[in-house]
Chain A
Amino acid sequence: MKCLEREKLFQLIHGMLEPQPAEEARAHLAACGECSRMAEEYQRLDAALDDWIAAEPSPWFDARLRARVASATARDSWFRLGRVRVLAAAVAAVVVILAVVVFHHQQVVENHHSVISQQQPNPAAAQPSEPTEALRQPVPPDEQLKMDENLSLLEDYDVVSNFDALSELPQAKDN
């Protein structure tokens, strides 16, 4: 008869086997002296471990814990309150920044409009101020007559002003 594996025996003693394998192991144990001796050893070990004395909680355990819980609760609520304050401050900051941005934008828009309105031509004053415009205008008849009368003088002026021979004359000495 083959003995039970140690691990299986251990699991049987500690109730870790499923019902069917446990039943089979128990049947084997009843008929096997070696496995019974080993099972007894595990039980003795288990009983020996009971002699390890543990510590008892001190009488002030609860009082200390309650104080720590109260402190943690107070810290939590302060933290929560702190978070609300931080959130409120952040919202206020965003509102202020938005207000500044909107105000600045309005200023820029107003300035832009005033510059445009200054640059736009006044229809009343939009008379030929530029020479090209003046040249395009038809000359009044009396002005034309004056120009015709002085035409010979203007022609002489043109000739004299562009007379190259004058520049070739010897220059008068300063001294």
Chain B
Amino acid sequence: MVVDSDLDLMLRVREGDSGSFDELLRRYRAPLVNYFYRMVHDQAMAEDLAQEAFLRVYKARHRYRPDARFTTWLYRIATNLALNAIRDSRGRQRQDAVTTGEDGETPIEFVDPKASVEQELIETDRSRMIREAIETLPENQRAAVILHKYQDVDYRQIAGILSISESAVKSLLFRAYETLRTRLEPLVREGKI
């Protein structure tokens, strides 16, 4: 059986074929939720952002031009959404800190508490260490590491996604891994190959 390429599917979505959109959704639903989860570390927000990314793909279907790989386009949309969400939440935290300081009340958080508890339960110590180490990386380094390590995206594609040169991606990844090597030294020392 011949498997349709992402590009073929997207071209058919452009022509109005909803079945092809469902197939793209089936292929990239989990990778995209994972990507967002690793970027923002919030299950509910990760789902919302993944939905928004798919919605943008659908809305932009008529403007889609097959001059780049579908995943480059998809992850570019996703990365922009994720970086904006990180900046927004950082801005909100700053605003909340100011608000809390003014009236002494804790701001209301719109996060599903059940989901957060579940996340905490399934997160092992090793997993938490890695998450915290990656979270401290600068935004671009974090996006590059997650795309490279967890989304299996080629560094040439990462250059297209982040709109930087390939050599800049190599340098970005090297600096990020050097930071992680230092921060995760205990894991690396006991490590498994």
Task: With A45-B180, A61-B29 as known contacts, state yes or no: A16 contacts B126, CB within 8 Å.
Answer: no
Flag A55-78 by CB within 8 Å of B: 1 or 0 each. Answer: 111100110110011001000100
0/1 interface trace, chain B 103-126, chain A, CB 8 Å (1 if under): 000000000000000010011101
What residue in chain A is nearest B51 (Cβ atoms)?
Answer: A65
Chain B nearest Cβ from A119, distance in angstroms: 66
Interfacial chain A residues near B34, Cβ < 8 Å: 54-55
Contacts of B55 in A (CB 8 A): 65, 68-69, 72
A121 CB to nearest B CB, Å: 72
User: Which residues of the partner chain A approach B192 to less than 8 Å between Cβ atoms?
Assistant: 44, 47-48
CB contact between B33 and one of A43, A57, A69 (< 8 Å): that residue: A57
Chain B's nearest CB lies how many Å from the CB of A151? 107
**In terms of DSSP, what is the predominant structure of the interface of chain B?**
helix
With CB as the reference atom, state the residue of chain B lying closest to A52.
Answer: B130
One of B25, B123, B127 near A62 (C-beta < 8 A): B25
Distance in Å from the Cβ of B180 to the closest Cβ of chain A?
Answer: 6
Chain A residues within an 8 Å CB radius of B150: 49, 52, 54
Query: Is residue B184 contacting chain A, with contact meaning CB distance below 8 A?
Result: yes
**Which stretch (B2-10, B64-72, B168-176) binds chain A?**
B168-176
Chain B proximity of A88: nearest CB distance (Å): 23
On B, residues with C-beta under 8 Å from A are: 21, 25, 29-30, 33-34, 37-38, 43, 46-47, 50-51, 54-55, 58-59, 119, 122-124, 126-127, 130-131, 134, 148-150, 155, 170-171, 173-174, 177-178, 180-181, 184, 187-188, 191-193
- Complex interface residues of chain A between 7 and 22 (CB less than 8 A to chain B): 7, 10-11, 14, 16
Complex Cα–Cα for A47 and B178 (A): 15
Cβ-defined contact, B119 with A48, below 8 A: no
In Å, the complex CA distance between A58 and B48 comes to: 11
B38, B58, B124: most-surrounded residue (chain A CB, <10 A)? B58
Contact A48–B177 (Cβ < 8 Å) = no
